[in-house]
Amino acid sequence: MIKRVLINALALGVATFALYGRGITLDTTDRVREVLTILGVAVIFGVVNALVKPIFKVLTGCLIMISLGLFLLVINAAMVMVTSWACGRLGLSWHVDAFWPTAVIVTVIVSVVNFLVIKFLPSKKR
């Protein structure tokens, strides 16, 4: 679980700094606070994906099948927006401005970084 949070933190950090000022705001003054905020966002993102995402997938199962899975991009972008909302409610200074295109781009960046990190990390199964 800790490994998953750290991978998500890395992915969200890459997305945040790639889109900083162009759709994502992170209102902190020093690097330590930035890292702690990103770790907090990763925890919230994990909780949202564990609790809310399955409900979205069940409710939109037909759309997912019709679109051959591309609708999952929309669901993941919605999870980014829910995470942004939850961060605001919990006092974290991480905010995504808009669903389109910012949340969708964040989703793509997070997916690519997650894939690359998991692909190149050593696995116990080998």
Residue numbers of the domain that contains 107: 2-120
Domains of the chain: total: 1
Nearest to 106 by CA among 57, 58, 60, 38: 38
Residue 38 CA to its chain's centroid (Å): 10
Helix axis angle for 2-19 and 31-51, nearest 10°, is 120
In-domain check, residue 64: yes
| pLDDT, tens digit, 9 for 90 and up, residues 86-100 | 999 999 999 999 999
Positive or negative torsion for Cα 107, 113, 116, 120 = negative
What digits encode the pLDDT tens for the residues 38-77?
A: 999 999 999 999 999 999 999 999 999 999 999 999 999 9
In a domain, 84, yes or no: yes
Residue 125 lies in a domain: no
108 part of a folded domain: yes
Question: What single DSSP character describes residue 22?
Answer: T
